[in-house]
Amino acid sequence: MIQQIYPSPAHNYSYELNKDFQFASAHYVPDERAGKCMNVHGHTYFANVTIAGDLLDETGFLINFQKIKQLIHDRFDHSLLNEDGLFSDENAEDYPTTEVVARKVAEIIQEHLDTLSNKPVCLQVFLRETPTSYVIYRPKRGNS
Ligand SMILES: Nc1nc2c(c(=O)[nH]1)N=C([C@H](O)[C@H](O)COP(=O)(O)OP(=O)(O)OP(=O)(O)O)CN2
Ligand SMILES: [Zn+2]
């Protein structure tokens, strides 16, 4: 939910930013054990992304807030997640569950961050799938 307080990852970076955004997507979980979730259905996902770093870019940004939303919203909004090449119906690690979508969001963002000279890092993705269900994904990282 936008404007909620999120759990913070511990870190020693000087700057931390958080971006909230939402996207509406359909998905299904391709396993009979997922019950009714095996049927195509939709959610309005609420995401909060945490990015940190020690250096700002030439505009004084860690990263432009708008870019974070653009990377994810433009790709996933009003789509069937299972049809995106990031996901697969063959391998559970790539089914579009909340856990996996949160990880993919982190990976998409980190891939972009790696192109920036100030080298920010994605520390956390909080992804709410329903009013009662959410996942937090924190990429493994070194001692920073
Ligand atoms: N660990 C996970 N469990 C479930 C996932 C998931 O991605 N990871 N997904 C689903 C379904 O896709 C469903 O969209 C969400 O399930 P649920 O929280 O049960 O949704 P409800 O709105 O029915 O929840 P209530 O609290 O009962 O209203 C299922 N499990
Ligand atoms: Zn679902």
Residue with the larger pLDDT of the pair 4 and 50 = 50
The strand ranges marked E within the chain are 15-27, 41-53, 79-80, 121-130, 133-137
- The per-residue pLDDT for range 91-110, each reduced to its tens digit, is 999 999 999 999 999 999 99
Establish whether residue 45 lines the binding site of ligand 1, counting it when its CB lies within 6 angstroms of any ligand atom.
no
The whole-number average pLDDT for the span 131-140 is: 97
Alpha helices in the chain (DSSP H): 65-76, 98-113
Cβ of 132 less than 6 Å from ligand 1: yes
Q: Does the annotation flag 73 for ligand binding?
A: no
Domain parsing of the chain, residue ranges: 15-137
Only one residue has tokens 């920073």, namely 144
- Is 37 exposed, middle or buried (CB count within 10 Å of its CB: 0-12, 13-18, 19+)? middle
Residue 111 known to be catalytic = no
What is the residue with the minimal CA distance to atom 24 of ligand 1?
Answer: 132
Task: Give me the residue label for tokens 């998409």.
Answer: 108
- Is 122 catalytic? The answer is no
Q: From the CA of 118, how far away is ligand 1's center (Å)? A: 38
Residue 3 is predicted with a pLDDT of 72
Listed residue (27, 46, 38, 30) closest to 105, CA to CA? 46
Decide if pLDDT at 142 tops 80. no
41 is in an annotated binding site: yes
Q: 64: Cβ below 6 Å to ligand 1?
A: no
Known catalytic residue at 78? yes
* CB of residue 30 inside a 6 A radius of ligand 1: no
- Whole-number mean pLDDT of the chain? 96
| 4-13: pLDDT as tens digits | 889 999 999 9
If pLDDT is split at 50, 70 and 90, which confidence band does 52 have? very high
Residue 20 in contact with residue 127, Cβ under 8 Å?
no
Architecture per CATH, 15-137: 2-Layer Sandwich (3.30)
Q: How many C-alpha atoms does 50 have within 13 Å on its Cβ side?
A: 19
Tell me what percent of the residues of the chain surpass a pLDDT of 90: 94
Cβ contact 100:87 at 8 Å: yes
